[in-house]
Chains A and B, each alone.
Chain A
Amino acid sequence: MTKDECKKVVLDIIADIAPDEDLSNVKPEVRLREQLQLDSMDFLDIVMELRKRYGIEVPEADYPQLASLDSCGEYLTPKFNALPAKP
């Protein structure tokens, strides 16, 4: 999993959570909440979808790491790559 693939995963989750948002111009270095109408309930869902779909755990203390797509890529890529290989 590369950082770009990881950012795509997050965008796909956001597309499912907030289908009414236009994701075509999201800048990776800008905070997501400044570009999109996402509130704390939406961020909770991003975290829970990561767990549901990929088994990735994000402790509450680490939520700020998901602030932008770039920071998501930095934070999540090692977690993806640390997952046990599927049988």
Chain B
Amino acid sequence: MNSRSDYDVAIIGAGLAGLAAGIRVAHFGKRVCIFERHNAPGGLNSFYSLEGRKFDVGLHAVTNYVRPGVKGTALGRLLRQLRLEREQLALCEQKQSRVAFGPRGEQALRFTNEFAVFESEVARLFPAEIDGFRRLAEVIRGTGLAPETGVASARTVFRRYIRDPLLEDMLLCPLMFYGSASEHDMDFGQAALLFQAIFLEGLARPFEGVRPILRLLLEKYRAAGGERRMKCGVRRIVARGGRAAALILDSGEEITANEILSTIGGPETAALIDPPAAAAAGAPPPPAGVIAYVETMAIFKCQPAEFGWGEDTIVFFNDSARFTYEQPAQPVDVRSGVICLPNNYSYPPGQQLPEGLFRVTSLAPYAYWANLPEAAYREEKARWFAAVQASARRFFPPVADAALAAATVATDMYTPRTVERFTGRRNGAIYGSPEKALSGTTPLANLHLAGTDQGLLGIVGAMLSGIMMANQHVLQKGSG
């Protein structure tokens, strides 16, 4: 079946954006092939198995969750555009989450999928700021589904409504961790999208994590007639006369397509363009990202509830007076991070994950981890695993070291080096380049970006990006 070398549409990357774009164009009769270098789909939200256990790479939570009947939202739009029923995603809501600042998380703002809870927490902790906060939330509600262009500083906008720097940091912390590609500040449009996704809408997770979502998309794509080649990366995009004339695969095979959608990232796509001068025609290529993370996972034979850790789904923590979001000088910045307990979603009665999971993610510099020789890399992972987990435990009810050790049946950890190895993202930058291409344009007329570097991220965001870019650059261009 995969003997063709000419398509209407070629899609680079079988992650959420590529699969969603593929479904759209295949449904409307385009001959399409997705090319994926890895042997598994999902990209930045992929999965793997280790010693018989299943793990998700990226998925802490599906953001943008709304309950059935709520209309005009990102999730609703996505379900319609992909012709999916919401039950097929089988999303289970978070129990509750927290933004916790201070050495033991003394300053905490709880939030759930009901925005009123977060609002009342802000009123409790920052009574002088509640009116400003409500006005800011209204402004954010008004920004809609597409990020605004040209409003570069979220902090500048937030400061029109909020005077307390602690509240400013407590609001930006989750938005940056979920995720900003920029250091210290972020584009207001991006911040608004993430504020909507996390606070105004909510967090949820399928019981089996990302796999059922990927299976659903793969089956929808296949049924619509889309082709997919795995372990089949693209090595070059041949440019001629301002257009992408052909793709050269890792195998050397040449593929032609009228339109190419690349979901592997802005700088990563530019690096494929040959000759290189064509990648910089008109404007320099987008810079590689600098924001990267380590993630540590502890697996327990018991449920986290047995430690008294059964209530919090996600905790965004910061132990210091100000929240510093930048590429760290140390191998890991353990002052802050995100804790995720996948057990703590409201799964159907009788359903609980077979083991307890405690995932902790903190900022880390790519260069340090990428340059370690092999033996040192393993040692440093072990050293920093302990430091990251210990840092996170400060924000949860205390559990004796011996009890935790006795309950721990497995651990795993990934670094920026791991992310680059499996996704090709330069510097392991999971949130991509700090410069987004909101209309997906590249220097080549028939090559467009979708996914993180178009400007939408997260599971829902990436799918919407693929849908929008497919609509704009393939389907609305008329026949052929």
Residues of A at the B interface (CB closer than 8 Å) are 16-20, 37, 39, 41-42, 44-45, 48, 51-52, 57
CB neighbours of A20 from chain B (8 A): 71, 76, 80
A9 to B242, CA, bound (A): 42
Interface residue tally on B, bucketed by range: 10 to 19
Q: State whether the Cβ of B394 lies closer than 8 Å to any Cβ in chain A.
A: no
A37 to B70, CA, bound (A): 11
CB neighbours of A48 from chain B (8 A): 28, 475
CB neighbours of A39 from chain B (8 A): 72, 77
Q: A48-B28, A52-B28, A52-B29 are in contact. Are A41 and B85 (CB under 8 A)?
A: no
Q: How far is the CB of A11 from chain B (nearest CB, A)?
A: 16
Q: A17-B80, A48-B475 are in contact. Are A37 and B29 (CB under 8 A)?
A: no
Which of B29, B77, B83, B471 lies in contact with A16, CB distance below 8 A? B83
A20 to B79, CA, bound (A): 10
Contact, CB under 8 Å: A45 / B85: no
CB interface residues, B 52-105, toward A, < 8 Å? 71-72, 76-77, 80-81, 83, 85
CB neighbours of B85 from chain A (8 A): 19
Contact, CB under 8 Å: B81 / A41: yes
Q: How far is the CB of B28 from chain A (nearest CB, A)?
A: 5
Which of A17, A44, A57 lies in contact with B476, CB distance below 8 A? A44
CB neighbours of B83 from chain A (8 A): 16-17
Contact, CB under 8 Å: A37 / B471: no
Q: How far is the CB of A43 from chain B (nearest CB, A)?
A: 11
Q: How far is the CB of B71 from chain A (nearest CB, A)?
A: 5
Q: How far is the CB of B72 from chain A (nearest CB, A)?
A: 6
Q: A37-B71, A37-B72, A52-B28 are in contact. Are A18 and B80 (CB under 8 A)?
A: yes
A42 to B83, CA, bound (A): 11
Q: How far is the CB of A58 from chain B (nearest CB, A)?
A: 11
A-B contact list, 21 entries, CB within 8 Å: A16-B83, A17-B80, A17-B83, A18-B80, A19-B85, A37-B71, A37-B72, A39-B77, A41-B77, A41-B80, A41-B471, A42-B80, A44-B471, A44-B475, A45-B80, A45-B81, A48-B28, A48-B475, A51-B28, A51-B479, A52-B29
Identity of the chain A residue whose Cβ is nearest the Cβ of B81 in the assembled complex = A41
CB neighbours of B28 from chain A (8 A): 48, 51-52
CB neighbours of B27 from chain A (8 A): 52
A20 to B78, CA, bound (A): 13
A79 to B86, CA, bound (A): 35
CB neighbours of A51 from chain B (8 A): 28, 479
A39 to B81, CA, bound (A): 11
* Top 4 closest pairs, chain A to chain B, by CB: A37-B71, A48-B28, A52-B28, A18-B80
A81 to B228, CA, bound (A): 39
A49 to B76, CA, bound (A): 19
CB neighbours of A45 from chain B (8 A): 80-81
A48 to B85, CA, bound (A): 20
Identity of the chain A residue whose Cβ is nearest the Cβ of B72 in the assembled complex = A37
Identity of the chain A residue whose Cβ is nearest the Cβ of B83 in the assembled complex = A16
Identity of the chain B residue whose Cβ is nearest the Cβ of A37 in the assembled complex = B71
CB neighbours of A44 from chain B (8 A): 471, 475-476
Identity of the chain B residue whose Cβ is nearest the Cβ of A36 in the assembled complex = B71
CB neighbours of B77 from chain A (8 A): 39, 41
A17 to B81, CA, bound (A): 7
Q: How far is the CB of A61 from chain B (nearest CB, A)?
A: 13
CB interface residues, B 464-480, toward A, < 8 Å? 471, 475-476, 479
CB neighbours of A37 from chain B (8 A): 71-72
Contact with A along B193-215 (1 / 0, CB 8 A): 00000000000000000000000
Q: How far is the CB of A68 from chain B (nearest CB, A)?
A: 20
A52 to B83, CA, bound (A): 15
CB neighbours of A16 from chain B (8 A): 83
CB neighbours of A18 from chain B (8 A): 80
